[in-house]
Amino acid sequence: MNQPVLALNNIRKSFGGVVAIEDFSLTVHPGEIVALVGDNGAGKSTLIKIISGVHAPTSGSIVIEGESVAMSSATKAREHGIEVVYQDLALADQQSVYMNLFLGRELTRGPFGQLDRNTMVAETQRLVDELDVRIPSPHAAIRDLSGGQRQGIAIARATRWAKKLILLDEPTAALGVAETARVENIVASLKARNIGVLIISHSLDQVFRLSDRICVLRRGKQIGIRKTAETDKNEIVSMITGLEAA
Amino acid sequence: MATPDTASAAPSLLDRLTGANLQQYVVYVGFIAIFIFFAVVLRDSGFLTQRNLVNIILQTAPVTIMAIGLVFALSAGEIDLSIGSTVAVSALCAAMAMAAMPQVALPVGIAAGLGAGLAVGFVNGALVAWLRLPSFLVTLATMGLIAGVARSLTQLRSIPVTDPMFTGIFGSGAVFGIPSLVIWTIAAIAIGHFAFRQTRFGAHVLATGDNARAAMVTGIKVPRIRLAVFLISGAMAGLAGLLYSGRLQAAKYTLGETDLMTVIAAVIVGGTLLNGGKGSIIGALVGSLMMGMLNNGLILMGLSVSDQMIVRGLIILVAVAVSLRETAR
């Protein structure tokens, strides 16, 4: 494939004397889904925070489409076309679906900067149709939606704004079986949009269903990267736990 | 076309409709019910005369103006308890500035009154936005502090406001027969409603009150929004102070003293949530007019002051309980 949307080179992060991430390197290409797996405390969250601009790495470089970037804040990361779907979804419950899709980036028109609700509603409808997120209406309040619908909206928002990369942090942790399947379909459909996806998940079944490559992290160390088609669960489990597979 | 996800455990359509309607329209239903009640009971006491009805609007103007500011504060997830005492301090600052510079009374009066309100709003907002102190405690403290300042400014004396331009614009004047207080009310409601409902700023206020973390990660400058709502709240209290001193042609530390409860009740009854994320300027207007009508009607019914307070308290309790029913579940 062509040049990666995201390249992390020798990323190292320490908090005081504690090393959270040591020497981590990873590339994500357009239209590729890369899974990041590892036990609790392996450093996945820290890594997500580094890529989304919450933490600056202690050393190492972040390269986006060939351009080395210094990301000082989440705003900067967004400017570079990176969107994060947080585990808590970061949706405003009382507000409508369409206002959430455009939260912080509302469209306006006219000399007094009126909200352009018609365009926002139309675009929301188009996007949820494309992604097959089934909601009653773009006008529905988030709090009236189910968990799967909310997750769908959070992903739809990231899709609307991401130009290069979407980070998904445990997208189905709180969902039932049917809803998980729906969300996985949406994630799989992102490949067609030529966006890179980095997904964190505890479910190995899910990782094997969705990803092209799997990157394993253990206690801040990068254990290895495998092509999903060329590995199996036993190998990944032994990489995560550090125990040789029987 | 997307079809509704019927498998989800969302509340039924009927549930949603009745729930939302009740909460959204309770203020209008209540308003009409109280209006009809007084119209029937007080038909011989002059409740329905044009003069009395206009009087209700005139007396309600300062409360309505303060209510606009409180809608912004509550919607952003904050509360401003200091508005009542800010009214007094603004009115006194305006009156004292005008007495000191009678040649340029109008501009210095406006500047001093609004400036005092904005200054209080800035202090409240800065403490809440940057030090992250809870607004309930910050404004509870400034409420007392400013009430003290208002008393000490004039050693409890009342200061006359005599400039005819000022009292005309903020009190007894009229344009094409429309009293200036009515014009102020309409203008403030129109601008407030537009800013709240139609601009990005309004959307950011609601998002901040709804989920501050979500607002922050989507790039909304949350501290700036918090500061802004306190500046609006302070400015509205300042304007209310100007309206009081213009209408009464005097400023005293007691102005606005008892308005806080009325303003909060008007805003909550009008469909604004106490913990942020949802508000209505038009609802606050109707809520405020409802409180004014209640005052007026109870006086016309000949209730003693103590009975009025009890009845008003009970009615506010019922109204607030009904309007919060939906959100409490």
Look at A103 and B207 and tell me if their CB atoms are within 8 Å. yes
More confident residue, B324 or A148: A148
A167 touches chain B (CB under 8 A): no
A143 touches chain B (CB under 8 A): no
Over its C-alpha atoms, chain B yields an Rg (Å, rounded) of: 21
What is the set of domains in chain B, with CATH numbers?
29-322 (1.10.3470)
Look at B218 and A134 and tell me if their CB atoms are within 8 Å. no
pLDDT at A72 (0 to 100): 67
CA distance B304 to B101: 42
Look at A78 and B194 and tell me if their CB atoms are within 8 Å. no
CB B89 within 8 A of CB B243: no
| Paired strand residues for A12 | A59
Query: Which residues, at least 6 apart from A101, have a Cβ–Cβ distance to it below 8 Å?
Result: A120, A123, A124, A127, A138, A153, A156, A157, A160
CA distance B23 to A141: 15
What are the backbone angles phi and psi of residue A134, rounded to the nearest 5°? -90, 105
Look at B198 and A91 and tell me if their CB atoms are within 8 Å. no
Instruction: For A135, name the nearest residue in chain B, comparing CA atoms only.
Output: B4
Pick from B3, B203, B215: CB nearest A115 = B203
pLDDT at A82 (0 to 100): 87
Q: How confident is the model at residue A202 (pLDDT cuts 50, 70, 90)?
A: confident
What are the backbone angles phi and psi of residue B306, rounded to the nearest 5°? -65, -40
Q: Return the amino acid letter for B31.
A: F
pLDDT at B22 (0 to 100): 58
ipTM of this complex > 0.90? no
A133 touches chain B (CB under 8 A): yes
CB B70 within 8 A of CB B267: yes
pTM equals 0.88
CB A97 within 8 A of CB A160: no
pLDDT at A115 over 80: yes
Place of tokens 């202690």: A58
Q: Read off the pLDDT of residues A54-97 as tens digits, 9 standing for 90 and up.
A: 888 888 888 888 778 877 666 777 888 889 998 888 999 999 99
Pick from A88, A135, A144: CB nearest B16 = A144
Q: Which chain A residues are within 8 Å of B10, Cβ to Cβ?
A: 136, 144-146
Instruction: For A129, name the nearest residue in chain B, comparing CA atoms only.
Output: B2
CB B121 within 8 A of CB B235: yes
HSE, CB side, 13 Å, CA atoms: give it for residue A69. 25
In 3D space, the residue among B83, B80, B82 whose CA is nearest the CA of residue B135 turns out to be B80
Regions of chain B short of the pLDDT cut 50: 1-11, 19, 328-329
Domain formed by A6-92+163-241, architecture: 3-Layer(aba) Sandwich (3.40)
Q: Read off the pLDDT of residues B16-57 as tens digits, 9 standing for 90 and up.
A: 555 455 566 778 888 999 999 999 998 888 889 988 999 999
In 3D space, the residue among A96, A118, A95, A93 whose CA is nearest the CA of residue A107 turns out to be A118
Could you tell me the two tokens for A14?
A: 């320490």
A119 touches chain B (CB under 8 A): no
